[in-house]
Each structure stands twice: as C-alpha cells, then as structure tokens.
Structure 1
Amino acid sequence: MLAGAGSMLMLAAIPGTARAANAMTAGSPTSTAPGASRASLITQGTTLVHADMHNHTVMSDGDGSADAAFASMREAGLDVAALTDHATMFSIEGLSQSEWNTTGNLANAANDPGQFTAIRGFEWSHPLLGHINVWNTSDFADLWRAGSTPSLYRWLEGRPGGLASFNHPGREVGRFSNFSFYASARDQLVGLEMFNRTDDYLFEGWSSGMSSPLVACLNAGWRPGLTGVTDEHGTTWGFHEGKGRSGLWVTENTRAAVFEAMAARRCFATRVSGLRLDATANGVRMGQVLGVTSGDIRFRVDLDRGTVWDGKPLRIQVLRPGTSAPTVVDVVDTLCGSVADFTVPLDAADGNWVVLRVSDPELPNPTPGPSGHPCNDFGVAYSSPWWLRP
C-alpha cells in the first residue's frame, strides 16, 4: 500500500479525467460528496467533523442574508460552521452591536448539540496588517478598540477561552507585522489558513520575494493548527467544491468539544469535501509536542475519501523549516483509502516543527514556489504541525 519515496505509480484522475479534477477547483456550487467514514484507523476516542469557520453575510461585505447561512451550511453536509463578519475596517462598514447580537441569536437557534454546531465569531480586519478571525468571545473588537495586532492580542488575553486564527496569511502586505511573536497569545492563536477559497497559501507572496507564510509563522514561534475555509461572500454557503474546509477530531459535536479540539490543534486543512486525514508521529497526534530532540520518527497517516477516491494515488511531503520556502525532507507515495507508515529522521537542531502536506501528483500547483520544489504539485491537505522539544 505504501510505495517508497522514489517509486513511480500509475496515476488515476479524479473520477473521469484530469479535466474533471481541474473542474473540482473552480468553486462552482455542487453537493458535497458522501466521503469517508468518520472513524480514524490509527487513533481512538474522537470522531471527525467537517467544519467551515470563516463566512460572511450582508452584515459586512457579503451578499447573503445571515438568516439563511447556517441552514445552507448544514444542508451542504457541514457539521460545524461559523459566521465571522468583519468588524469595522476604516472605510468598510462592519458589524454593529445589534448585528453582533443577531449573529449570536442565529447561531443559538441553529445550534443542535450532537448533530450540528453553529458558532458566532468575527473577523478583525486591518487593510495592511492582515485579518484575524476570533471565536468564543462575548464581545468583538474593531480597529478603534484594537488598532494593531499587539493590541488585539492583549484584547484576546483578557477573554480566556477566546480563540483566533491568522486569515489568508500573506494577502495583506504587513503579514501581522511579519508574524511578530507575542508569547502570551500563543495558546489562543490556534489557526493558520492554508486554504482560503480555492487558494493554497503555502507560497503566497513568494514570487514577490516574500517567504512562505507557513515558514514565517512557525519559525516566529507561533503554534497554530492548519485550517481551510471557504471565506464565503456569496449566498451558497457550504456548497462550493474545491474551496477550503477543515477537519476537526472531536469527542462530540458540541461547541465545547469543537473549541477543545481547536485549542488542541486536532485539525487539518483541505479543499476537498469528505476527506479524512489523521496522523501520528511516534504515536503522538498532529498538533502536539513530540518528546524528542532527534531521532527516527515513525509517521502513520490515515487518508480516505470514500469510494470516490478509493485507491487514488496521492503523495505525502514531509515539510521542515526553511528560509523562503519549507524544506522537504521526504516524499512518500501512497494510495487514498490506506494507512501510510514511514520513518523519517528529524533533529531539532534543524528546526522545531514538522508538517505533512498531501498532494495530487497529477496536477500542478497554481501558485508554485521555487523551481523544482516538491510542493509545486496540487495541494489536497495539510496536517497540523508537530513540535520537537525544545
């Protein structure tokens, strides 16, 4: 089931042809595929839920009425969904206090513990520094109350239980003051969007001389889980195949359990519906700290998308710290619907994090990095990082 890094496999297209695979990324409305079962083949005690934590309505710069959003996302097959309209962004009108209250009421009405988790959040928005989603707070902050990222981090510190994410990292030129590290906010910054809409952000800004947002963020000292979102601004919430979404490994489908999984970084980013990704390193789940400084690390990766991708060739790239782009220390060919099992030597002297990227080797990365880089193929998913000790 597992082929060595150098092996060549016959490549199968997404049902039909490569043309169909390309069409999958176009963002056209479609019903979500049934996908894989929700039980991991390599861990116990949690269940997979499919989540989209970044969506907009007419209460900021979206087109659709907030009254319809949660129902649309549940109908599309999502298990967890959030509305995160913009707080005020200079000339762009954002949430008012009454709209913030309305979002909370809509989330409470749609919330169905055990079946569907509806969440209220907001998007703090600075036109130069960047945008940050915040969830699980009783109030919201805009540019007038938190006009810089350190101010927002201090605001967040005052709200224990509040969680946040770096959104579309690198789209705004300031890049959160180039991911300047604020240690006391580290535990609450639980997300880094690797897929936003149809875009893979691994090499965002690279062609303009900037470093990979993943490398900049993790090298700075932040410890986010990796996520995907649709960042929906239209009226078809949840129904766009090929846009980002997240997988969360939860003990139950409730708000408390969802926030616990986010805080534990038990999540992955993808842009295909119905995907199951679970991964361990020396038995430790993604998102956690490994109790080693160096040595051979055994990875096990459970990948499945149900019958639609059964046996489809995929590739796993082992990403390590670099400068402008991540260093790839191993590439493993595998088949969807199987458990990949491989060992890679790691040393904290080379950097303290490791991420697994899953790709489709048949398709190109629309936003490639350096010439010949192994991640210049089509990104399907990212595991959350592991951190070596110290």
Structure 2
Amino acid sequence: MNISLALEIPAVLSFSLFLVLSSCDDTAGTHQPTNAGNVNNVNNVNNLNNVNNVNNVNNVNNQQQLVAAILTPAPAAEVQEGRTLSLTSAISGGQAPYTVRWDVDGIELSTLEQPGDTIIPEYGDRTLTLTATDASGNVANDSVPLHVLDLNEGLRPYFGNLHSHSGLSDGEGTPEEVLTWARDVVGVDFYGMTDHAEQLSDSEWALVRTVTDAFSQPGVFVALRGFEWSHPWNGHMCIYTTEDYTSAISDIWITYIYDWLIENNALAQFNHPGRENGVFDDLDFEPDVASNMFAIETGNKGNGNADGEFLPYYIQALDNGWHLAPTSNQDNHSLSMNSHRSVFWATELTRESLVQAIRDRRFYSSDDPDVEVMFRSGEVILGGTVSMGAPGTVEFQIKVVDNEPIQRLELITGGGQVAAQLEPAPGTNRITWFPTVDVSGDSWFFLKVTSEDTLDGEGPVQIAVTAPIYFVF
C-alpha cells in the first residue's frame, strides 16, 4: 500500500506538468508572454495622452476671449487742451500678461493699464484708443471720442509790422512798392505805413490812404495808414486811425501831442523808448490820454527783446499805471526785414480786427517770426482786465507753440519780478502751463517766453513778451 501510493503521486505531477507544457505550446506562435506588460503600458500612455489632448482642447475652448474696455473717460467727454483726464480700463480674458497702449489719434499717452490723470494734448475732435495685447499675441481694443477744447478759443495770431518808412519821408520805395514787397516777398499779415509827419505833405498823406485801402484784402493782407510824430527830445510816436496828421513842428511838447491824440480819437504807441533823452517825460502816467496810448516798442530795428534795451521801459510804463501792449517793429527805411514781429490775436484778418486788437491791447512782441503765444486767465486774454471781488488765487492758461525749442516760461509782475516760471524738457516745441498766483491788490502779469534760436540767425535765444493781464479791486 505504501509503495502504490508512492507511484501515484509522480503520475499526477507528470500529468499536471504535461498540461502546463501543452498550454504553453499552444500560445507560443501568437504571443510573447514576456512583452505583455509593455503593451499594456503603451496602451495606458496612449490613453493618458488622449485624455490630455481632450483636456487641452477643453482648456482652449474654455479660455475667455481677450476684452479691453475704457471705463473712463466717458464717450464725448470734454477737456481743455493740456488738462488731464482720468484714464481707467478693464482688461480680461486671453492669456496674461498684457501689453497696453493708450493713444490719442496715434499720439501715445501711456503704456499702463490704469494711467489715472493724463494730459491730453492738442485741441480738436479726437479719438482716445486703448489697445491690449495678450501673451499669445491676441489683440483687443476700445475707443471713445473726445472733444479737446482749444485754449485759443477760435482766435489765431497774425504777424506783421506797425512801424515803417518809405520814400515819402526818409525811406526807400513808393508806398505801392513797399506794400507789394511786404505782402508778396516777406509774407507778413499786416503792415503799417508810418512815414515821418515832419516830411509829409497833404497830398502824400492822402496818397497813403488810397494805397493802403487798395492793398487791404480781408483774409489775405492788411495795410494800415499812420504817421510818426518825431520829436528830438521827448521821443517818437506812431499814430493811427486819424483823418488828419500832425508833426513835432506843430505840436512840439509832449502835452501838446497828448491833447491832439485825445481831440482826434487817435491810437498811438511809444517808439524806441530811451533813444531820445526825454523818454516821453519819463513815461509819467497821464490818465486823460491813457485810452489813446495802446503800445510801447520792446523791439525796434535790430534790437529785439533778447537785447533787453527797451524791455525795462515797458515794465516802467506798466508800473507807472499805463495799460500798454508790447510791440516789436522794424522801423525800416528800406525793403528789408529781420525776424522780429508784432503779433495780434483775432478771429480773422481784416483792418477792423487789427484796429480792434489795437484798442484791446491784444498783442505780443516777438523776436521770432512765427512763435504762437496764448496768455489768458479764464475768459480774459492778454491785454484784458479781471475785476477781483476779493483777494484770492488766480490761474493763468498758457500755450506756446514754436518750431524751435522752448527753453523757459516766466510770469512777470510789478518791478519785473518773476512770479512763476517753468523750464520745459529739452527739445519741447509745444507746451501748456497753468500757473497760479495769489492776488491781493491791483496788479499786472505778463508772460515772457525764451526759445532757442536754431533757424533765424539771431542766436542764441529769442524772446517773446505779451501784453499784461490786469487785476483790479
């Protein structure tokens, strides 16, 4: 029994081994048992990749579109040129980070998402645009219209000369030749014919009227008849808007010519002050004739504002009580002009607008032939008067535009003191400035602009000075 059992056990084991071996032989031609795990791993990786691809697609589909929106200012907002507007935005979607640009009609203002208070340059109907670019290169933008108000408020500057001579006195050329040259060669907007009265005849005075009337063409050119009262001691004056004329031979003293101005409702300017020793009786203020005297030359012939010869007399006259505009004139006796100009502000170029500007003292004096200088305080512009109810702070609105670099702006007051000043960044050609000062009594302020001379050969600088704005209590 014990032996028989011992023989059965190996038989069972043998049969089992046969079954196992047979099973292995049946599958040997179609599968490699040792690679089965690798196949499963590859399938698992492919499945994961497929899942990831699906997730990526879903992420792309779920990503929000890039959106840029201007929150402020509101559409059609109004702002005065040179003032600030608060620029704020909302940018979302896309892929951060964002690159941002704000501009007004292509002029870049900022690259910040939230610039806040930002100066808006140049007047006109403008478009403010916000452009956002995300990390993937997607671009979104928004824009709003703006109304940028002109500091000039419809006025424009006109450049010319109020003091000249022809062959009728001690100059060259006929009145026709002089005015043709001034209009067509020099290209000034206006020109005053002011021959010495002491050398004029009645017929020549009448001729000047005929010629200046013929040459005046609205919107093109204005010719103005006047004459120069020329006293060897008291000084010289250019006198305008009269039917008659007089000379220093007839009205020899300063009091005589003042009386004549009043009787003839004339408008006159003090010429080249200080050149004659009497200096118009030291520019003593005469209230009876104050409304007739509208200007004083701060530039004459080649001596401009930068030379400083006549500017102290302008300040002296203002301190004495005169309400005068500065002018810069050629006093030329031949067909030649330098870059100095008298400039008035008006809505149009006509003789009437020129005469009104003379009455309003709406002038500035410039060494430069084309610099634009606006000087105002609220609705009152250069030459005007602000009535103050009580002491307080006043603001000036200033704009200067030049094709040469602007170096300095100075607010000048009594005694020639500098009440405020600004030095723009190098190379600045256009600037707005809004200085404030405290005013507690009757006072005046004018603007002095210094620019680098790079075009006119006067060098190294050119200066413009405006008529004052007066404050009275």
The normalised TM-score by structure 2 is 0.63
Match of 2:277 in 1: 173
1:319 aligns with 2:415: no
Q: How many residues align?
A: 318
Instruction: Tell me the distance in 2 between the aligned counterparts of 1:41 and 1:198.
Output: 34
Instruction: Tell me the distance in 1 between the aligned counterparts of 2:161 and 2:428.
Output: 23
CA RMSD in angstroms comes to 2.5
- Assess, with a 3 A threshold, how the Cα gap between structure 1 residues 225 and 348 changes in structure 2: closer, same or farther: farther
**How many percent of aligned residue pairs carry the same amino acid?**
26
The structure with the greater share of residues assigned to strand is 2
Instruction: Tell me the distance in 2 between the aligned counterparts of 1:241 and 1:60.
Output: 21
Match of 1:225 in 2: 325
Match of 1:85 in 2: 195
Partner SS, residue 386 of structure 2: coil
Q: Provide Cα deviations, 1:290-322, integer angstroms capped at 9, x if missing partner.
A: 2236433222222113xx43xx23211111112
- Does structure 1 retain, via aligned residues, the 8 Å contact 2:406–2:429? no
Instruction: Tell me the distance in 2 between the aligned counterparts of 1:327 and 1:361.
Output: 22
Instruction: Tell me the distance in 1 between the aligned counterparts of 2:428 and 2:167.
Output: 39
- Assess, with a 3 A threshold, how the Cα gap between structure 1 residues 114 and 361 changes in structure 2: closer, same or farther: closer
Partner SS, residue 365 of structure 2: strand
Any stretches of 5+ residues in structure 2 without a counterpart? 1-80, 83-122, 124-148, 455-459
Pick from 394, 397, 407 the counterpart of residue 300 of structure 1: 397
Q: Which residues of 2 match residues 181-220 of structure 1 at below 5 A?
A: 181-200=285-304, 203-204=308-309, 212-220=312-320
Q: Provide Cα deviations, 1:329-358, integer angstroms capped at 9, x if missing partner.
A: 222123654232232324354x62111111
Q: Which residues of 2 match residues 346-357 of structure 1 at below 5 A?
A: 346-349=438-441, 352-357=443-448
Write the letter of the residue equivalent to 1:356.
L
Instruction: Tell me the distance in 2 between the aligned counterparts of 1:378 and 1:267.
Output: 21
- Does structure 2 retain, via aligned residues, the 8 Å contact 1:348–1:388? no
Instruction: Tell me the distance in 2 between the aligned counterparts of 1:104 and 1:228.
Output: 23
- Does structure 2 retain, via aligned residues, the 8 Å contact 1:226–1:269? yes
- Does structure 2 retain, via aligned residues, the 8 Å contact 1:124–1:143? yes
Match of 1:9 in 2: none
Write the letter of the residue equivalent to 1:189.
M
Instruction: Tell me the distance in 2 between the aligned counterparts of 1:63 and 1:150.
Output: 32
- Does structure 1 retain, via aligned residues, the 8 Å contact 2:408–2:423? yes
- Does structure 2 retain, via aligned residues, the 8 Å contact 1:241–1:272? no
Match of 1:344 in 2: 436
Pick from 48, 53, 62 the counterpart of residue 157 of structure 2: 48
- Assess, with a 3 A threshold, how the Cα gap between structure 1 residues 295 and 112 changes in structure 2: closer, same or farther: same
Write the letter of the residue equivalent to 1:59.
L
- Does structure 2 retain, via aligned residues, the 8 Å contact 1:226–1:385? no
The structure, 1 or 2, with the larger RCO (C-alpha pairs under 8 Å, 6+ apart) is: 1
Match of 1:147 in 2: 252
The structure with the greater share of residues assigned to helix is 2
- Does structure 2 retain, via aligned residues, the 8 Å contact 1:198–1:271? no
Any stretches of 5+ residues in structure 1 without a counterpart? 3-36, 89-93, 206-210, 364-376
Partner SS, residue 78 of structure 1: coil
- Does structure 2 retain, via aligned residues, the 8 Å contact 1:150–1:182? no
Partner SS, residue 71 of structure 1: helix
**Higher deviation after alignment, 226-235 or 40-49:** 40-49
1:158 aligns with 2:258: no
Partner SS, residue 434 of structure 2: strand
- Does structure 2 retain, via aligned residues, the 8 Å contact 1:85–1:123? yes
1:286 aligns with 2:382: yes
Write the letter of the residue equivalent to 1:81.
Y
Pick from 354, 361, 364 the counterpart of residue 258 of structure 1: 354
- Does structure 2 retain, via aligned residues, the 8 Å contact 1:166–1:192? yes
Q: Provide Cα deviations, 1:149-173, integer angstroms capped at 9, x if missing partner.
A: 221111111123x211111112111
C-alpha displacement of 1:179? 0.7
Write the letter of the residue equivalent to 2:371.
L
- Assess, with a 3 A threshold, how the Cα gap between structure 1 residues 337 and 297 changes in structure 2: closer, same or farther: farther
C-alpha displacement of 1:65? 2.9
- Does structure 2 retain, via aligned residues, the 8 Å contact 1:357–1:379? no
- Assess, with a 3 A threshold, how the Cα gap between structure 1 residues 106 and 348 changes in structure 2: closer, same or farther: farther
Instruction: Tell me the distance in 1 between the aligned counterparts of 2:245 and 2:412.
Output: 35
C-alpha displacement of 1:362? 8.1
Partner SS, residue 435 of structure 2: strand
Write the letter of the residue equivalent to 1:304.
V
C-alpha displacement of 1:204? 2.8
Partner SS, residue 287 of structure 1: coil
Q: Between Structure 1 and Structure 2, whose CA radius of gyration is higher?
A: 2
- Does structure 1 retain, via aligned residues, the 8 Å contact 2:392–2:440? no
Match of 1:389 in 2: 472
- Assess, with a 3 A threshold, how the Cα gap between structure 1 residues 67 and 43 changes in structure 2: closer, same or farther: closer
- Does structure 1 retain, via aligned residues, the 8 Å contact 2:219–2:348? yes
C-alpha displacement of 1:245? 1.1
Write the letter of the residue equivalent to 2:471.
L
Q: Provide Cα deviations, 1:11-40, integer angstroms capped at 9, x if missing partner.
A: xxxxxxxxxxxxxxxxxxxxxxxxxx9xx9
Q: Provide Cα deviations, 1:117-157, integer angstroms capped at 9, x if missing partner.
A: 11110011111111110111111110132212221111111
Instruction: Tell me the distance in 2 between the aligned counterparts of 1:361 and 1:65.
Output: 37
Match of 2:31 in 1: none
Instruction: Tell me the distance in 2 between the aligned counterparts of 1:116 and 1:221.
Output: 34
1:271 aligns with 2:367: yes
C-alpha displacement of 1:218? 0.7
Instruction: Tell me the distance in 1 between the aligned counterparts of 2:235 and 2:247.
Output: 13
Match of 1:68 in 2: 177
C-alpha displacement of 1:286? 0.9
Match of 2:217 in 1: 112
Partner SS, residue 173 of structure 1: coil
- Does structure 1 retain, via aligned residues, the 8 Å contact 2:383–2:467? yes
